Homo-oligomer: A and B are copies of this chain.
Amino acid sequence: MRNVQRKLSIARGERPAELLFKNANLVNVLSGEIYRTNVAVDDGRVIALGEYEAAQVIDLNGSYLAPSLIDGHFHVESSMLTAPEFARAVVPHGTGAVVIDPHEYANVLGLDGIRYVLESSKNLPLDFFIMLPSCVPATAFETAGARLTADDLKLMIADERIAGVAELMNYPGVYLGVESELEKIHAGKGKNIDGHAPGLTGKNLNAYVLAGVRSDHESTEIAEAREKSRLGMHILLREGSTERNLATLVGLVNSNNAMNCSFATDDKLAGDLVSEGHIDHSVRKSIKAGLPPVTAFQIATINTARHYRLRNFGAIAPRFWADFIVFDDLQNPVVRQTYKKGILVAENGKYIAAQPTIVPQPRSTMNLRYDSSKDLDVKVEHRSKMRIIEIVPNQIVTKEIIETPRTENGRVVADMGRDILKLVVVERHRATGNVGVGFVRGFKLKSGALGSTVAHDAHNVVVVGTNDSDIAAAIAELQKLQGGQVAVANGAVKAELALPIAGLVSDRPLDEVIQRISDLNAAARALGCELEAPFMALSFLSLSPIPELKLTDQGLIDAVHLRKTSLFVP
């Protein structure tokens, strides 16, 4: 903070400010009003509201001036963008701060992953606050790159950019009082503790809250969100790429409870962020659904800043950072300008911030050990039926179905006629040699293979394919790329996106990432796939906490009873 005396003298009107936003229709989220005034800014902060002199005057001519928007819960890895490129995507949409849970980074890189996020997100026109991942690894049924205990979280909790402990996804562990989970909550004492409790109600929800969890972003129905709100949970209204709960949950919000609500996206793809928007989309959607604009902006700004204790964020008043957005239509706010600490960083959709210093990438994470000549083999056992994972389009749950295998030379092979494709998961963190092989219905590939190193939550290599040769080619290409996503056919790469940062995130610019994702989807469609988001579907097939049947590097997982199961039905 530059000289306090200087700032006070500006506030007293004794010397001019650097900057005056004149004739603003100020969205004052503190007093809950919108009215005409001027905002004086100096050294990146709001100094005063009212009649002031300044070296530079920006006449807003009655345009609306609101605080920059805040995302209350986001996994930046879902955009597959580095922090600077993510900023390029969302700053033009008016985002000024994000509360992120680097859960995927942590699953691959542990504390190093969190450190990388802290470092790579500095000095951007977007402030990152970090919740420490609480569920690494997600389960014991897959091999992740790291394991974080309460003692690990304690090492980092004091950092001023750490806002608390991230979503406690192991909610049964919490309400049942498993010591390791309670210790993680304790590690976050004095900061925030985020929840994740889809569908949890009644007594177990009471126990979950009693244990210290303060928020939830998983409600899909009003009754569920209301019960959580009644128990004191801060409600994050989620609107991401696939999980879209805002239209429903906005019905819960009223003037008596709005202060306990925030907007969040959870997961959102780069392309959606650019085309649809970020928190600005949630603001528009809420207003269209009938929320008063001031309330929508409070939910998008100060409520989140207060809940997560983001000092000097979320409002336009003396001492707050001069993080502003400018727009013209209160009923349909489309961000025309974004300011960060008083500096114009985006205008008319164009990002105009300075390029940050690039920080070194973390270490390589593609440590595979497998033998393509035999690890992909599935020998027919003396049984007639096998378990198959069936995809439920646009959901992370799957079904278990039982089918007769197609065999060739004593080996089970893909059967494109019945849409039964081979699914392979290769451990990539510790070179354990673990390879899980199973079968999946839903991709409808007629040839080739699709592979990804984004595979929740352990992010091992996952490949679906019509033949072993293309599966092996996909794995080889992913190894070469140091992680990524590929579409392969007849031994040739049809499309690819390298994700060399933890096997999760691209080192390429925003536009190129969006183009390559588009190319990958087109390539998958060309191979016969009809899914809207085939690589996303692929990435959830290893997520062992979610029913019914999943495949990890350790084999098929009965995700209903959380136990390993066999490919062949006994």
Contact = CB atoms under 8 A, between A and B. Distances in A.
Interface of A: 4-5, 7-9, 11-13, 28, 30-33, 47-50, 52, 175-177, 182, 202-204, 206-207, 209-212, 226, 229-232, 254-257, 259-260, 292, 294-295, 298, 306, 315, 317-320
Contact of A256 (B47, B255, B318): B255
Contacts of A232: 30, 315, 317-320
In the assembly, how many copies of this chain are there?
Answer: 2
A298 B255 CA distance: 12
Contact of A210 (B11, B50, B294): B11
A389 B14 CA distance: 37
Given A12-B175, A207-B12, A210-B11, A33 B319 contact: no
Contacts of A206: 11-12, 47-50, 318
Given A210-B319, A232-B30, A232-B320, A48 B203 contact: yes
Nearest to A207: B11
Nearest to A52: B203
A358 B31 CA distance: 45
B318 A210 contact: yes
Contacts of A52: 203
Contacts of A255: 32, 255-256
13 contacts: A5-B177, A28-B230, A30-B230, A30-B232, A30-B260, A33-B230, A48-B207, A49-B230, A206-B318, A210-B319, A212-B319, A256-B292, A256-B294
A210 B259 contact: no
A540 to B, nearest CB: 30
Contacts of A12: 175-176, 203-204, 206-207
Given A4-B211, A11-B206, A11-B207, 4 more contacts: A30-B257, A49-B230, A49-B231, A232-B320
Given A232-B318, A294-B256, A295-B256, A207 B32 contact: no
A367 B254 CA distance: 60
A48 B257 CA distance: 20
Nearest to A311: B190
Nearest to A231: B317
Contacts of A9: 177
A4 B177 contact: yes
Contact of A4 (B30, B182, B226, B318): B182
A318 to B, nearest CB: 4
